[in-house]
Amino acid sequence: MRHIAIVGSGPAGYYTAEAAVKKWGEDARIDVFDKLPVPFGLIRTGVAPDHQSIKAVARRYEKTAIGETVRFVGNVAVGEDITIAELGELYDAVVLATGAPVDRALPIAGADADNVIGSAAFVGWYNGHPEFAALDPQLSGKHAVVIGMGNVALDVARILAKTESEFAGSDIVTHALDALRTSSIETITILGRRGPHQIMMTPKELGELLHLERARPQVDEADLPPVDDDAALEPGQRKSVTLLREFAALPAEAAEEKPLTIAFDFYASPQAILSEDGTVTAVEVERTAIEAGRAVGTGETYRLPADLVVTCIGYQTSPIPGVPFDERAGRFANDEGRIGPGLYCVGWAKRGPSGTIGTNRPDGYAVIDVVDADIGAGSDKRGRDGFDQLARERELDVVTFRDWQKIEEAEIAAARAGAPREKFVDIASMIAARGE
């Protein structure tokens, strides 16, 4: 019997569990750990609440989670409640699927001003992550600046721009909906160091900006490369740039019909955050030019008014005591997923925050192939029986998948009209909803 511990119950964790079941069937016992009492990680707290079709992938993970072979072990913080070394003593393999939940720091002066918020925190706030539910961003000003040119930046801009009616059918949490309802924001500037040909935004997400009730996208035609240059782009990127050209061609009358502007500011590198009395007032920006694929400062500077700044410049993995960490790359140090004897990583924890949710599936299958080659038929370790004994000794309040189903039932029952659920945003409420 092979005993496998997977740390993290998001996409990478469940795809790895799925791969283990397909590889070994009943000859394995797989425990999927999560520090929260609720599973699915990024699907629950990272995917935008108005993208319910993407969140539906969790139903696939449920098929893996229901049964004897795979077990959800929630409300257990690895590194605190149990160490990596202790897991290694109990299980034949420990696979870290912890994702990249920490914002990369914006390395400019003034970035610590009030109302300058990283995207992990901001997204966690409107998605009801317990660590960020009390964030309370101030939306009383007119100007928001979103730093970054990826899909997360688009998510943040879109959420800030939507009307209350546009959130129908979403699972945005009530505290965020209440704050957005009274928002005074009139302009959202998406700031990027490079140009349209270097954006990381996908066509689907860009296209959504054309259908907002009160907001219109805006691109300066002067920022667009010659149309003929688009031919060198791969098809998805070409489609994204085509949408930017559509934004630039929108008639001026659109400003009268839709008063909120989502402006794309290309070739713009933030240099400093300016503030008064500790609260952000503006972003100092340097104009850039592309040289050999890199954004190089031109010396030309200007200021963007900003009452709220959200940085969407990437994420990194949280270190775990006793696990080698690559500080520069912001992930666990590994060789094709192998960290050391019996210790592995997968997904963003392995390769950094790149790729889509689906990218984690082949990653999960690949790491199980590595594990299989290393551990063979297993080495008669105690696995979950050993963990259960340790949990009793330490009085850990473990949340099972059946417990999670009770929590989910309570969230569905508490949903406002038209919403799929009302998430509990603190751990105590989750535990209470589980019942006895």
Q: What is the CATH number of the domain that holds 409?
A: 3.40.50.720
306 and 329 both lie in a single domain: no
- Tens of pLDDT along the chain (436 residues) come to 999 999 999 999 999 999 999 999 999 999 999 999 999 999 999 999 999 988 888 887 887 877 789 999 999 999 999 999 999 999 999 999 999 999 999 999 999 999 999 999 999 999 999 999 999 999 999 999 999 999 999 999 999 999 999 999 999 999 999 999 999 999 999 999 999 999 999 999 999 999 999 999 999 999 999 999 999 999 999 999 999 999 999 987 777 789 999 999 999 999 999 999 999 999 999 999 999 889 999 999 999 999 999 999 999 999 998 899 999 899 999 999 999 999 999 999 999 888 888 889 999 999 999 999 999 999 989 999 999 999 999 999 999 999 999 999 999 999 999 999 999 999 999 999 998 6
E-only strand ranges, 294-369: 294-305, 308-311, 315-316, 325-326, 331-332, 338-340, 343-345
> What is the full DSSP assignment across 105-159?
P--SBTTTSBTEEEHHHHHHHHHT-TTTTT------SSEEEEE-SSHHHHHHHHH
Residues in the chain: 436
306 and 373 both lie in a single domain: no
Q: How many domains does the chain have?
A: 2
Look at residues 156, 166, 152 and name the one whose alpha carbon lies nearest to residue 100: 152
β-pairing, 102-103 with 315-316?
A: antiparallel
- Of the residues 258, 288, 315, the one at which a domain ends: 315
- Of the residues 265, 289, 315, the one at which a domain ends: 315
Q: Can you tell me the distance from the alpha carbon of 329 to that of 201, in angstroms, rounded to the nearest whole number?
A: 22
- Of the residues 263, 288, 315, the one at which a domain ends: 315
420 and 341 both lie in a single domain: yes
Taking CA atoms, 148 is separated from 104, 116, 315, in Å, by 12, 14, 12
SS3 of 96, please?
strand
209 and 235 both lie in a single domain: yes
Structure tokens at 188: 């959202």
Q: Can you tell me the distance from the alpha carbon of 233 to that of 85, in angstroms, rounded to the nearest whole number?
A: 47
Alpha helices in 128-234 (DSSP H): 151-161, 174-181, 203-207
Q: Can you tell me the distance from the alpha carbon of 7 to that of 140, in angstroms, rounded to the nearest whole number?
A: 40
333 and 217 both lie in a single domain: no
393 and 271 both lie in a single domain: no
293 and 181 both lie in a single domain: yes
Spatial contact of 251 and 86, defined as CB atoms under 8 Å apart:
no
pLDDT tens for each residue of 108-125: 999 999 999 999 999 999
Structure tokens at 147: 């730093």
Dihedral sign for Cα 192, 194, 197, 200, please.
Answer: negative
Q: What is the CATH number of the domain that holds 128?
A: 3.50.50.60
C-alpha atoms less than 13 angstroms from C-alpha of 417 in its C-beta half-sphere: 2
Q: How many CB atoms lie within 10 A of CB 222?
A: 7
Per the structure, the complete domain to which residue 29 belongs is given by 2-101+317-434
Q: Can you tell me the distance from the alpha carbon of 233 to that of 231, in angstroms, rounded to the nearest whole number?
A: 5
83 and 9 both lie in a single domain: yes
283 and 259 both lie in a single domain: yes
Question: CA torsion angle for 359, 42, 241, 246 (degrees, to 10)?
Answer: 140
Q: Can you tell me the distance from the alpha carbon of 308 to that of 136, in angstroms, rounded to the nearest whole number?
A: 12
Taking CA atoms, 265 is separated from 26, 116, 158, 244, 288, in Å, by 55, 18, 16, 12, 11
Spatial contact of 5 and 29, defined as CB atoms under 8 Å apart:
no
pTM for the predicted model, two decimal places: 0.94
115 and 91 both lie in a single domain: no
296 and 323 both lie in a single domain: no
Strand (E) or helix (H) holding 32: strand 28-33
263 and 153 both lie in a single domain: yes
